[in-house]
Amino acid sequence: MTITFEEPTNAGTADPCNPGDCIPGKNCVPDIECSPANHVALTATLTGNVGNCPPDDHKCQPTDCIPLSVTHRPAGLAMAEPCVPDIPCDPGDIWSCAPAKKSAGFLWLDLTRKCQLECLHCYNASGPDGDHGTMTREDWIRVLDQAIRTGVEKVQLIGGEPTMHPDFADLLSHAVSIGLQVEVYSNLVHVKAEWWELFRQPGVSLATSYYSENPPEHNEITGRDSHRKTRANIARAIGFGIPLRTGIVAMRPTQNIERTTGDLVSLGVLKVGVDRLRRFGRGEGSHPTCDVNELCGNCGDGRAAIGPDGSVTPCIMSSWLRVGNVKTTALAGILAGEEMARATATIPKRVAVDPCDPGAECRPDAYPCQPDA
């Protein structure tokens, strides 16, 4: 059941509690008057986020907190993160309380649709004419901070080409500073000198796509003279000791997957995944649009994606299955919400190993479910 309510007329006053002022069973305490210490401040800026939590060092208790089913829509924000014991309440921060249970351990942060390349099969049609969307640096920082509170352990910065986002370095550094593991999925066509130091930090790894050991074939797939640059930077990353995995998309009969894999192994790459062409974006061709059968089957299972506009989906390839937006709603509420559950339920689960990762379960921390962006 979802409980919705309007902004009260006497929030935070010393008048007796009225039914219209309060969240049922939460912020009206029996036999006492309303006050800032026991009343949720439902202002236009939503200055309070938990019921009954006084503005001091009081520890949240389960009875203090707003359940996931309670939402506040007038201000365009949702109060969807309940508190857990031993987490200090901050009534001045609508995003501060952690969720009662972990709902995802991995997030794709899809920073941009801009990319130097224009791959024939790109599932989100990124390219030189793409943009960075509407998420600001502050939006992404808030997402990272919420992610660590919700139990997320690892994020992948992807796109487009994530290093082309103007705040890429700041976002990577912040994610590492708060304890997140970070994988950067880059085409490795252009790597600034200072980025190598970022990539060498503990907890940071790289992933990239490599389509053929044959330069003309690789370049034809990417639409640019990219083979020599990507290959050289793969070798450089290995030389620096940076953890790196690669993905090969098998999309044409002329590709020699065995030789391409051998080329990568000769460079020192230890993890090489092979995926089939997924019929999305420029790879869709004449295939029906938004076909859930093209997904690997593990979308939304302990993972989710956030796009350049803040939309949350079960994975980066299921962009039409939008279940909320982090610009208006707290991340924990989206991940644990009914819309996410409904969207995930529409995706066929794989009872056997999917071609997404031959020989192993398709996991974002293993080999690529999404070898390219």
Q: Is the pLDDT of residue 219 over 50?
A: yes
Q: Is the pLDDT of residue 83 over 60?
A: no
pLDDT, position 285: 64
Lowest mean pLDDT segment, chosen from 78-92, 191-205, 245-259, 309-323: 78-92
pLDDT, position 299: 75
Segment 77-94 shows an average pLDDT of 39
SS (H, E, C) the chain: CCEECCCCCCCCCCCECCHHHCCCCCCCCCCCECCCCCCCCCCCCCCCCCCCCCCCCCECCHHHCCCCCEECCCCCCECCCCCCCCCECCCCCCCCCCCCCCCCCEEEEECCCECCCCCCCCCCCCECCCCCCCCCHHHHHHHHHHHHHHCCCEEEEECCCHHHCCCHHHHHHHHHHCCCEEEEECCCCCCCHHHHHHHCCCCEEEEEECCCCCHHHHHHHHCCCCHHHHHHHHHHHHHCCCCEEEEEEECCCCCCHHHHHHHHHHHCCCEEEEEECCCCHHHCCCCCCCCHHHCCCCCCCCEEEECCCCEEECCCCCCCCCCEECCCECHHHHHCCHHHHHHHHCCCCCCCCCCCCCCCCCCCCCCCCCCCC
Lowest mean pLDDT segment, chosen from 107-111, 201-205, 215-219, 280-284: 280-284
Percent of the chain with pLDDT over 90: 48
Mind listing the pLDDT tens digit for each residue in 236-295?
A: 999 999 999 999 988 889 999 999 999 999 999 999 999 877 777 776 666 667 777 677
Lowest mean pLDDT segment, chosen from 51-65, 288-302, 334-348: 51-65
Mind listing the pLDDT tens digit for each residue in 22-56?
A: 444 444 434 334 344 333 332 222 233 333 333 33
